Amino acid sequence: MTEQHHYKALLADGCAVPTLLCGHCQSILSRTRIFSNQDNPHQRMECRTIGLCSADDCGAVNCCDDALAGIDNPERLFGIAS
Name the residue ranges covered by the structural domains of the chain: 6-79
Coil, strand or helix at 58: coil
DSSP state letter for 46: S
User: Which amino acid, residue 25?
Assistant: C
Q: Is the pTM of this model over 0.85?
A: no
Q: What is the pLDDT of residue 1?
A: 39
Candidate ranges 37-41, 53-57, 72-76; pick with highest mean pLDDT = 53-57
Please enumerate in sequence order all residues whose Cβ is within 8 A of that of 43, keeping only pairs 6 or more positions apart, or say none. 37, 50, 61
Report, as an integer, the average pLDDT of 41-68.
86
- Candidates 72, 82, 40; CA nearest to 63 is 40
